[in-house]
Amino acid sequence: GSSWRQWRAGQTGGRFAGMDTAATLRGFALVLFGVAPWLREPGSTDEARGLERKDSSETRTKNALPPDSRPSMSVRMKRIRPYPDIVAQVEENFHGRNSVNRRNRALNKYNAMKGKGLLSKQPEPSKLDVLADELDLARPRRIKQVPCGLPDLWPEPDPRYPEVAFAGRSNVGKSSLLNALTERGSVARVSDEPGTTNMLAWHRTGKIGMDFVDMPGYGFATRARVFGPETIEFVKTRPNLRCLYVLIDCRFGFKVADHEWLDELGGRGPIKQIILTKCDLLRPKVLIKAASLVRADLEAHKRVERKLLLVSSHAKTGLHELRCDIVRRVVGAKSESDLAGDADEQPRDLV
């Protein structure tokens, strides 16, 4: 018995001989008590501002619930049934990982069949496609940049320049997408640090006659800075805003901040269009399920388009479809303003 206890003591001492005592105690505390409350991600906007405090007993009760009561995104993706239109959208537009190689193989096959005369004559591009190409070649210029909380400094709405706004959680890829929309000129400053955009910025394109509005990221950029209320007030009260593009990272889907922000908007403001960003980081099959999960979450919100737009700023996929959607909304708004502005004058055919 004594020899076994001596051997066991030697094994235990050898296991922790090279470890720091403080590091060992911290590891035991992490296992016993979990992550410190001040290091956890806030669950709501009020909690991030310090207006709401989560009780530790409630947290322990929540963590004690069975997994089926709080399914994670991976569990929900296993249960979701893909939407047929999303499957077609991913396959036809080469969304997902390795999209460049798949697109090049399809292009080589198309050129080979075209060289052999096996393809019929392709239809002419529509006027919407032509305007989308013009938007691609446009050179936007910044006309105004003001803080969200100073509405008196916002530029006056001009019916000749309808506005479309881009918003999303911090570090969702909004700045990269705005820069990828136009090949000539940089619209927004790109940074790996969340919360870089903290002001409202208007960028005007003369070719199409419209304004891009770059909005601050909502949610939890840093624990001390939250841009939710100002952006909500802007969307609700801006009369010249024709569409709000809400960016969602395809890897994470809807977060708490996304649901709360759309709930605050409700039925007010313009129509909302969801854009899934960074689609080149997921495999096509995984992307189909992730997009279907986001599509299912849209049923809980008002005035939101049910069709999703999938884009990748890095692989340049889905950008033409986004430009066509922007031009369609802007052209429709300009046609309405022409009809309302002068009833005697024959409106121009902008389409």
Q: Which comes out higher in pLDDT, residue 163 or 41?
A: 163
Provide DSSP, 252-281: T---HHHHHHHHHHTT-SSEEEEEEE-GGG
How far is it, in rounded angstroms, from Cα 215 to Cα 11?
60
What pLDDT shows up at residue 343? 40
How far is it, in rounded angstroms, from Cα 8 to Cα 1?
11
What pLDDT shows up at residue 64? 38
Number of Cβ within 10 Å of residue 177's Cβ equals 25
Q: What is the mean pLDDT of the chain?
A: 77
What pLDDT shows up at residue 223? 40
Kindly state the average pLDDT of the residues 342-346: 40
Least confident of 182-191, 219-228, 294-303, 321-330: 219-228
% of the chain with per-residue pLDDT over 90:
34
What pLDDT shows up at residue 16? 43
Q: Which comes out higher in pLDDT, residue 266 or 186?
A: 266
Q: Which comes out higher in pLDDT, residue 46 or 145?
A: 145
What pLDDT shows up at residue 211? 94
What pLDDT shows up at residue 56? 43
| Stretch (H or E) spanning 107 | helix 99-115
Kindly state the average pLDDT of the residues 318-336: 85
Residue type, 108: N
What pLDDT shows up at residue 61? 38
What pLDDT shows up at residue 279? 95
What pLDDT shows up at residue 257? 84
| Contact in structure between 230 and 217 (CB atoms under 8 Å) | no
Kindly state the average pLDDT of the residues 131-155: 88
- pLDDT band of residue 171 (cuts 50, 70, 90) is confident
Query: Which tens digits make up the pLDDT trace of 24-69?
Result: 666 655 555 555 554 555 565 555 545 555 544 443 334 433 434 4
Least confident of 35-44, 59-68, 169-178, 296-305: 59-68
What pLDDT shows up at residue 40? 55
What pLDDT shows up at residue 97? 92
Q: How far out from the chain centre does Cα 138 lie? A: 23
Q: Which of 37-51, 65-79, 104-118 has the highest mean pLDDT?
A: 104-118
- Tokens in use for 50? 């310090």
How far is it, in rounded angstroms, from Cα 211 to Cα 205?
6
Taking 60 as the threshold, does the pLDDT of residue 293 lie above it?
yes
What pLDDT shows up at residue 66? 42
What pLDDT shows up at residue 350? 32
% of the chain with per-residue pLDDT over 70:
67
| Contact in structure between 351 and 331 (CB atoms under 8 Å) | yes
Residues across the chain: 351
What pLDDT shows up at residue 20? 57
Kindly state the average pLDDT of the residues 62-77: 60
Q: How much is the pTM? A: 0.73
| Contact in structure between 131 and 208 (CB atoms under 8 Å) | yes
